[in-house]
């Protein structure tokens, strides 16, 4: 088991290097750089910038160097824990991202728990009670959940709370708690806000995992050992939970790694709509302004987060299923 | 006015105490503005500040205010202290903060209707100012006893620090900003005493006051010497090591980081509010709180501002901001969501949301300016686009009224690209010529340029192929451009010209503009009121004069002074046409002129030439839009003029806003 984990950790290094290179290149692909966005916003405001001032800014931000030099100085910095400098915020990237990454992680992780907690029993239920009313209702909402994009759900929720409750959602705290110290009241306030992104983010995953669980369990339930056990008079609950559910849960766990990646990227979009204090709004702004070190560092760290999520789900699977653990 | 008597030459006097109306033929400061109210005898302060004074944390209000605070006449009524200004911004650092809490320059635009001429410039941080006859020496008298937000005195020393250690420091400013130099020679700053600053230019700098009143003039009064010296290498050799410790590229990065008042709550300011939760600390919002040393009072001696704080909620999604505005959660809406297409939404929700709409007039003269590249890289295309008949023909081929009806629900009037009717520079020919829809006239003009047609009636280019060009535009920036260009393409097809609208990303547009790679481009018509400050559409003045970028580059790089070799340039550059060259000379003449009437006369000549040349096509004159105030939020100027160069809404005195109900 330890060997397996170490091997996986070592494999992450080349993956991360590749991600850093790709994310840096992708950010540089659109025409122009941070200066271009400075110029275009100045054009909107009716200010004048002459070429001499531009040259000055270019040198100040180190944008006159070739891309490969910029990449390696950024990468070299990351190894030392320095993520570069945000042009837009005129402060080091490191100061800007950790809080937001923390919230992104919390929300993604809680959504994952939420998805599991709901999808698992629902999947078992709809397999055991196949073609019942409950199964149909689960399937109905499941397909709607699968088909509705996160951001649309978020917008719908926003509209409903405006039209019927005359209040706006968004954010993670009520205004009076934003600057308050942690307390039970503040925690309660957080929970009141937190369920909104969790539900929005979770819907898609719940729908998918419920279907996977249902299909796998149905396969198992038709196997002869189940019939035998039933014939021998094993109680229905024990019969279902002891073997078929355990085996059916295998793909359930393995697909969670991919689910986490989806949750993290979905979180970025939903956070923009709901104005959450997570990576989303900042990453979007950084990409629009071509604030490249900020954007690249975000993408890099979100990828690291996803990689670790996948690793954890693989470890869980290995722990859960001996066949994977011993197979090299 | 002791200073006035000491200066031994004729000069102009502007200011609260002196109205120079007696000097014939010279700019008159007092004519366009209401006389400044008298300084009240006693002063009041916010109860929150009074508590701090009672606790011994702050000195008394009389000691915090300068000897002669600036007195503001409330727009509606004297306000009450307390409350927050709840507002929203689309991103962190979008430039909305300086326009709401900032704008404390030495001089400023007078609140209200502005025409962007010298008459509209009034004292602000400076208590008064004087200009010598030829506009080369500007003397500013600061307010004795004025203080930064940390209580440290604000004196001429701060301006000298700005000049010596920022403007003239080659590390921080390798290039002297154009508004601070004449013919490439920088200004010389002198501080004869603590409250006097003299800007001495090597020659006349006629637009200096106006530029100082715009957003570029923010810096001189936003760099507290007593705080920033510790981060400047001249005064503290250790900053290089400190920058390295903080993993910054060099000491300049550290210096700018410390001087950035939006991101650094520690740097003292002269604003009515100071950042207490600065940008970057809390991703969802930032907060500015009352500056107890603010140096303005109302007519009854109440120290401003009335409101305790400004809360900027960062709302990235426009739909969410719209919902917040419709809910009445925002106290004032001047940006982002008050677009024309949202008018009915706001109108219907006024009662329920508890807000009120007011008129907002824009200084733009067009929402759509079509520029043909008259200095195209391709010889054949250049000749066609530079041919005035070509542009006249296309202009006559457009049914502007139908476009206005279809795209702007009938709001607007056919208009070319010229100063707005309410501007003193209004030029009817420039605004209205070639706007009538006349099919035959269009063909007549086009026949002079591209007479040959193929079987389908499409005009043939010099190469014998059907003539075809693209108009590039940033669809994401203005959604209506796609519709306007689609309609235009249909009209032009009827006169045998084939045009394809091409939507490109904004940065790509900028790159192609810089490389002079475009056939034609669309942008907004700035400078409808700010005629002299932003003349980009009237002659090739700035890099955004899309119709002749290489000419503008030539001008910007000092072509008129003969300082450049066109062939060696690494940016697109070529010698302008005679007409454009004449305009450039006239504009330089404006810079060398201090007298307002003479400036206007020269600008009118430039506009006459612009009318002769007919550089670009406009569609319609934008009609007033709207802003929104929550009921119970007072002293908002209505109607409000929206202008970047005046930092709307800041120039309408946001420190006077107050709430009668939270």
Residue bearing tokens 């760099």 = B223
| Chain B residue at shortest CA distance from A173 | B284
Q: What's chain A's average pLDDT?
A: 82
Predicted pLDDT at B7: 36
For the record, the structure tokens of B322 come out as 């719209």
- Are B210 and B118 within 8 A, CB to CB? yes
Distance from A228 to chain B by nearest Cα, in Å?
58
Backbone dihedral region of B574: left (phi > 0), alpha (psi from -120 to 50 degrees) or beta? Answer: beta
Predicted pLDDT at B124: 96
**pLDDT > 70: what percent of chain A?**
91
Predicted pLDDT at A46: 59
Contact A37 B507 (CB under 8 A): yes
Predicted pLDDT at B273: 97
Which residue out of A46, A76, A166, A172 would a mutagenesis test of the B interface target, given it has the greatest number of B Cβ atoms within 10 Å? A46
Distance from A44 to chain B by nearest Cα, in Å?
8
Predicted pLDDT at B276: 94
Q: What is the mean pLDDT of residues B179-197?
A: 92
Q: Which of B20-24, B543-547, B638-642 has the lowest mean pLDDT?
A: B20-24
| pLDDT, tens only, B219-235 | 999 999 999 999 999 99
Predicted pLDDT at B4: 38
Confidence of residue B21 (pLDDT cuts 50, 70, 90): very low
- Selecting from B173, B263, B277 the residue whose C-beta is nearest the C-beta of A91 gives B263
- Are B359 and B370 within 8 A, CB to CB? no
Predicted pLDDT at B327: 86
| Chain B residue at shortest CA distance from A96 | B280
**pLDDT > 90: what percent of chain A?**
8
Distance from A66 to chain B by nearest Cα, in Å?
17
- pLDDT at A323 exceeding the cut of 50: yes
Q: What is the ipTM score, two decimals?
A: 0.74
- Torsion sign over Cα B66, B68, B72, B78: positive
**pLDDT > 90: what percent of chain B?**
66
Q: What is the mean pLDDT of residues B308-325?
A: 88
Contact A162 B326 (CB under 8 A): yes
Residues of chain B contacting A281 with CB distance shorter than 8 Å: 91, 283, 314, 316
Confidence of residue B12 (pLDDT cuts 50, 70, 90): very low
Contact B507 A50 (CB under 8 A): no
| pLDDT, tens only, B77-124 | 999 999 999 999 887 666 789 999 989 999 999 998 888 988 899 999
Q: What is the mean pLDDT of residues B14-21?
A: 38
Predicted pLDDT at B8: 35
Q: What is the mean pLDDT of residues A127-139?
A: 91
Contact B543 A49 (CB under 8 A): yes
Confidence of residue B23 (pLDDT cuts 50, 70, 90): very low
Predicted pLDDT at B272: 97
Residue bearing tokens 């009817």 = B428
Contact A30 B530 (CB under 8 A): no
Predicted pLDDT at A166: 64
Task: Give the separation between CA A302 and CA A267, rounded to whole angstroms.
Answer: 11
Confidence of residue B33 (pLDDT cuts 50, 70, 90): very low
Contact B252 A60 (CB under 8 A): yes
Q: Which of B128-132, B234-238, B333-337 has the lowest mean pLDDT?
A: B333-337
**pLDDT > 70: what percent of chain B?**
94
| pLDDT, tens only, A35-64 | 777 777 776 665 666 666 676 677 767 777
| pLDDT, tens only, B330-384 | 999 998 888 887 888 999 999 988 999 999 998 988 889 999 999 999 999 999 9
Q: In the 3-class helix/strand/coil scheme, how is chain A assigned residue by residue?
A: CHHHHHHHHHHHHHHHHHHHHHHHHHHHCCCCCHHHHHHHHHHHHCCCCCHHHHHHHHHHHCCCCCHHHHHHHHHHHHHCCCCCEECCCCEEHHHHHHHHHHHHHHHHHHHHHHHHHHHHHHHHHHHHCCCCHHHHHHHHHHHHHHHCCHHHHHHHHHHHHHHCCCCCCCCCCCHHHCCCCCCHHHHHHHHHHHHHHHHHHHHHHHHHHHHHHHHHHHHHHCCHHHHHHHHCCCCHHHHHHHCHHHHHHHHHHHHHHHHHHHHHHHHHHHHHHHCCCCHHHHHHHHHHHCCHHHHHHHHHHHHHHHHHHHHHHHHHHHHHCHHHHHCC
Contact B91 A285 (CB under 8 A): yes
Distance from B69 to chain A by nearest Cα, in Å?
31
Angle ∠(B611,B615,B618) on CA atoms, nearest 5: 85
Q: What's chain B's average pLDDT?
A: 88
Q: What is the mean pLDDT of residues B152-176?
A: 91
Predicted pLDDT at A52: 62
- pLDDT at B470 exceeding the cut of 90: yes
Q: What is the mean pLDDT of residues B134-162?
A: 96
Confidence of residue A2 (pLDDT cuts 50, 70, 90): confident
Q: What is the mean pLDDT of residues B10-37?
A: 39
Task: Give the separation between CA B450 and CA B70, rounded to whole angstroms.
Answer: 63
Q: What is the mean pLDDT of residues A68-75?
A: 85
| Chain A residue at shortest CA distance from B352 | A166
Distance from B339 to chain A by nearest Cα, in Å?
16
| Chain B residue at shortest CA distance from A38 | B507
Predicted pLDDT at A326: 63
Contact B510 A40 (CB under 8 A): yes
Task: Give the separation between CA B628 and CA B356, rounded to whole angstroms.
Answer: 6
Residues of chain A contacting B329 with CB distance shorter than 8 Å: 168
Contact A46 B645 (CB under 8 A): yes
- Are B437 and B469 within 8 A, CB to CB? no
Contact B323 A162 (CB under 8 A): yes
| Chain A residue at shortest CA distance from B364 | A46
- pLDDT at B283 exceeding the cut of 50: yes
Q: Give the up-direction half-sphere exposure of residue B382: CA atoms within 13 A in the CB hemisphere.
A: 12
Q: Which of A3-7, B15-19, B54-58, B316-320 has the lowest mean pLDDT?
A: B15-19
Contact B175 A44 (CB under 8 A): no
Cβ neighbours of residue B173 under 8 Å, at least 6 residues apart? A56, B166, B167
Closest by CA position to B206, among listed B558, B645, B603, B552: B603
């Amino acid at each position: 088991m330890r060997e397996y984990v170490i091997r996986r950790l070592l494999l992450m290094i080349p993956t991360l290097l590749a991600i850093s290179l790709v994310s840096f290149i992708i950010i540089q692909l659109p025409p122009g750089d941070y200066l271009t966005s400075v110029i275009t916003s100045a054009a909107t405001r009716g200010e004048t910038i002459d070429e001499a001032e531009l040259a000055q800014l270019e040198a100040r931000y180190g944008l006159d160097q070739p891309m490969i030099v910029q990449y390696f100085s950024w990468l070299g910095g990351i190894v030392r824990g320095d993520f570069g400098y945000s042009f837009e915020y005129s402060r080091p990237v490191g100061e800007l991202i950790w809080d937001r990454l923390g919230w992104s992680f919390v929300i993604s992780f809680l959504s994952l728990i939420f998805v599991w907690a709901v999808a698992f029993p629902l999947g078992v239920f709809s397999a055991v009670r196949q073609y019942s009313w409950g199964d149909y209702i689960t399937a109905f909402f499941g397909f709607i959940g699968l088909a509705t994009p996160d951001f649309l759900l978020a917008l719908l929720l926003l509209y409903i709370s405006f039209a019927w409750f005359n209040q706006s959602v968004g954010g993670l705290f009520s205004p009076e708690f934003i600057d308050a110290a942690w307390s039970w009241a503040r925690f309660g306030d957080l929970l009141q806000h937190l369920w909104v992104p969790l539900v929005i983010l979770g819907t898609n995953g719940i729908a998918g995992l419920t279907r996977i669980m249902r299909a796998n369990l149905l396969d198992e339930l038709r196997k002869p050992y189940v019939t035998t056990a039933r014939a021998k008079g094993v109680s229905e609950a024990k019969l279902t939970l002891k073997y078929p559910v355990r085996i059916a849960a295998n793909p359930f766990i393995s697909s969670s790694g991919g689910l986490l990646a989806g949750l993290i990227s979905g979180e970025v979009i939903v956070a923009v709509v709901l104005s959450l204090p997570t990576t989303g709004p900042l990453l979007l702004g950084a990409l629009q302004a071509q604030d490249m070190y900020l954007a690249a560092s975000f993408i890099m760290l979100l990828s690291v987060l996803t990689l670790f999520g996948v690793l954890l789900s693989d470890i869980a699977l290995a722990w859960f299923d001996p066949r994977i653990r011993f197979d090299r | 006015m002791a200073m006035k008597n000491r200066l031994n030459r004729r000069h102009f006097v502007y200011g609260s105490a002196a109205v120079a109306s007696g000097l014939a033929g010279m700019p008159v400061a007092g004519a366009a503005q209401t006389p400044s109210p008298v300084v009240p005898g006693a002063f009041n302060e916010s109860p929150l500040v009074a508590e701090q004074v009672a606790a011994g944390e702050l000195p008394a209000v009389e000691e915090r205010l300068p000897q002669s605070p600036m007195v503001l006449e409330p727009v509606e009524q004297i306000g009450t202290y307390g409350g927050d200004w709840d507002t929203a911004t689309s991103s962190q650092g979008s430039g909305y903060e300086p326009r709401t809490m900032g704008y404390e320059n030495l001089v400023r635009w007078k609140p209200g209707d502005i025409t962007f001429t010298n008459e509209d410039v009034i004292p602000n941080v400076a208590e008064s100012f004087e200009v010598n006859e030829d506009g080369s020496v500007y003397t500013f008298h600061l307010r004795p006893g004025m203080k930064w937000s940390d209580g440290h005195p604000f004196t001429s020393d701060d301006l000298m620090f700005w000049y010596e250690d920022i403007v003239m420091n080659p590390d921080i400013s390798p290039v002297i900003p154009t508004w601070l130099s004449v013919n490439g020679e920088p200004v010389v700053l002198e501080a004869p005493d603590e409250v006097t600053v003299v800007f001495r230019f090597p020659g006349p700098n006629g637009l200096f006051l106006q530029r100082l009143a715009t957003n570029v003039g923010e810096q001189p009064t936003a760099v507290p010497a007593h705080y920033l010296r510790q981060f400047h290498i001249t005064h503290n050799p250790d900053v290089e090591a400190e920058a390295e410790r903080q993993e910054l590229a060099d000491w300049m990065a550290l210096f700018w980081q410390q001087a950035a008042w939006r991101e650094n709550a520690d740097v003292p300011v002269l604003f009515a509010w100071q950042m207490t939760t600065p940008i970057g600390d809390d991703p969802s919002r930032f907060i500015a709180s009352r500056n107890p040393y603010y140096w303005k009072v109302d007519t009854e001696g109440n120290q401003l501002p009335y409101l305790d704080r400004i809360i900027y909620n960062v709302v990235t999604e426009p739909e969410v901001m719209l919902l917040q505005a419709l809910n009445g959660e925002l106290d004032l809406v001047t940006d982002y969501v008050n677009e024309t297409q949202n008018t009915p939404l706001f109108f219907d929700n006024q009662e329920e949301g508890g807000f009120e709409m007011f008129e907002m007039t824009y200084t733009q003269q067009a929402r759509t300016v079509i520029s043909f590249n008259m200095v195209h890289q391709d010889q054949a295309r250049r000749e066609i686009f530079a041919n005035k008949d070509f542009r006249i023909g296309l202009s006559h081929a457009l049914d502007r009224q139908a476009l206005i009806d279809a795209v702007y629900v009938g709001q607007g009037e056919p208009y070319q690209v010229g100063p707005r009717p309410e501007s003193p520079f209004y030029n009817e020919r420039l605004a209205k010529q070639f706007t009538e829809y006349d099919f035959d006239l269009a063909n007549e003009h086009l026949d002079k340029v591209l007479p040959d047609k193929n079987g389908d009636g499409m005009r043939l280019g010099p190469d014998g192929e059907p003539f075809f060009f693209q108009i590039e535009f940033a669809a994401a920036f203005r959604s209506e451009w796609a519709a306007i260009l689609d309609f235009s393409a249909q009209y032009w097809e009827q006169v045998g010209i084939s045009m394809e609208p091409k939507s490109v990303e904004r940065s790509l547009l900028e790159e192609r503009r810089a490389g002079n790679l475009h056939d034609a481009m669309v942008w907004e018509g700035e400078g409808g009121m700010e005629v002299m400050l932003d003349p980009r559409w009237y002659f090739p003045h700035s890099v955004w004069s899309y119709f002749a970028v290489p000419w503008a580059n030539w001008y910007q790089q000092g072509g008129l002074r003969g300082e450049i070799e066109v062939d060696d340039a690494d940016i697109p550059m070529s010698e302008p046409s005679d007409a454009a060259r004449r305009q450039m000379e006239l504009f330089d003449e404006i810079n060398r002129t201090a007298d307002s009437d003479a400036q206007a006369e020269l600008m009118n000549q430039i506009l006459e030439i612009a009318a002769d040349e007919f550089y670009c096509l406009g569609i319609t004159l934008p009609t007033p839009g709207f802003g929104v105030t929550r009921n119970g939020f007072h002293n908002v100027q209505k109607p409000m003029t929206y202008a970047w160069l005046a930092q709307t809404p800041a120039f309408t005195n946001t420190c006077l806003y107050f709430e009668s109900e939270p």
